[in-house]
Amino acid sequence: MRFFQNKFPDYQEGGKVEIDPSKWVPQIYSIVESIQEGMPPVFDNCDGGIYVGNSGIAYMFYYIAQNDAFKDKRSSFLEQAVLYANMANSSNYGQDKASFILGAAGVHAVTSLVYDAIGSPHIAGKCLEKFAELSKICSPINFLRCGSDELFVGRAGYLCGVLNLRQKLKNQTVPDDVVNQLCSVTVASGQQYRGKNPSVPLMYSYYDTEYLGAAHGLSSILQMLISFPSFVKSSHETEALLRSAVDFMLSLEQENFNYPPAMDEVKRQRPDKEELVHWCHGAPGVVYLFARAYKVWGDQKYLDVSLRCGELTWQRGLLKKGPGICHGVAGSGYVFLLLYRLTGDQKHLHRALKFAEFLFMPEFQQARIPDSPYSLYEGWAGTVCFLADLLQPEKAEFPFFNVFME
């Protein structure tokens, strides 16, 4: 099995969930120190963008510096964020300039957040200008041979960056007309590709695989498209097409509430021991699309399917691949914080707390050590964001995947 058996008691109706900062803050400080020791801001740690590189650590420091539980450390955390962000900017990302998760676009975005937070709007503005310039690279419909639309290196990732800068800086460096053009090209690409399967509203491929999950697939592409109201409401036809594509994604739900990682597995469900229940592939990532759809259209079916994703994650989300947010325990835990924000139901906060506790239990020591054990997506930096969000669950957000914009 890819997961540890969940032996925790579930939430009892009427119970109150207590999250004690005096317990969790020292744990978080300890992890942060180990990250600084294990992944210092040096040139060798530049590769991998925000996913496994220095800029991901910069984001962690920036993010927890905004949390009131760490206000005594805000200045020192932001100083560290600057060190990591500056080092990340020393790398040449070559062909990955427009990539948000793996390349320069993400580095520029994070650096702008960091410098804005320390009160240096001039430097932040320069980074925003560099980010905005990259929109020209990802405007051509087929700007990447491997697939131009997905989250890690493609247009959806760039749109993800735009969205986060708008949310956190209230900044429209990339104006609506450019955003709508990028969204339109993404839709046109999905229509062009799905010509091979006309029964599908929109479809995309990455390295010749029709992925469905959050990392490279349809769900995160659609999530980004429906996160821009000006595009969703640009025409009745556009809104209808996007909603039909979301409903197509919903139709792929399996009997156990999971989603296949790619279209070539739609008609054959994996054996239990091989099933992927991760943020990157499976229900714990797809849930963000449905949560966003619920916020956009208010249809109960999108909330219901989000809750079903949560049930599967509770059963199979104590993953053996490590602590991280991409394919680890913290990524599963974030599902419950998402559902708590959607519903206010204490059950989801209870579940998030139990997954956090599991990270410090002896059984978790049997988990695999990731290739990048301190990084934002694979390792402990993203886990720090999750643990910090336990202390402010009403504001919790999976890094760069916030669906609450209203």
Q: Could you give the C-alpha distances from 385 to 46, 86, 101, 258, 376, in angstroms and in order?
A: 20, 21, 17, 25, 9
- Can you tell me the distance from the alpha carbon of 128 to that of 109, in angstroms, rounded to the nearest whole number? 7
- Can you tell me the distance from the alpha carbon of 177 to that of 161, in angstroms, rounded to the nearest whole number? 16
- Can you tell me the distance from the alpha carbon of 92 to that of 152, in angstroms, rounded to the nearest whole number? 17
183 annotated ligand-binding residue = no
Phi, psi of 319 (to 5 degrees): -75, 150
326 annotated ligand-binding residue = yes
Closest listed residue to residue 312, CA positions, set 286, 293, 346, 289? 286
C-beta separation of 340 from 352 below 8 A: yes
Q: Could you give the C-alpha distances from 95 to 98, 133, 154, in angstroms and in order?
A: 8, 15, 12
Q: Could you give the C-alpha distances from 334 to 279, 309, 318, in angstroms and in order?
A: 9, 12, 12
Which amino acid is present at 327?
Answer: H
138 annotated ligand-binding residue = no
Query: Which residue positions form the known binding site for Zn(2+)?
Result: 280, 326-327
Binding site residues, as ranges? 280, 326-327
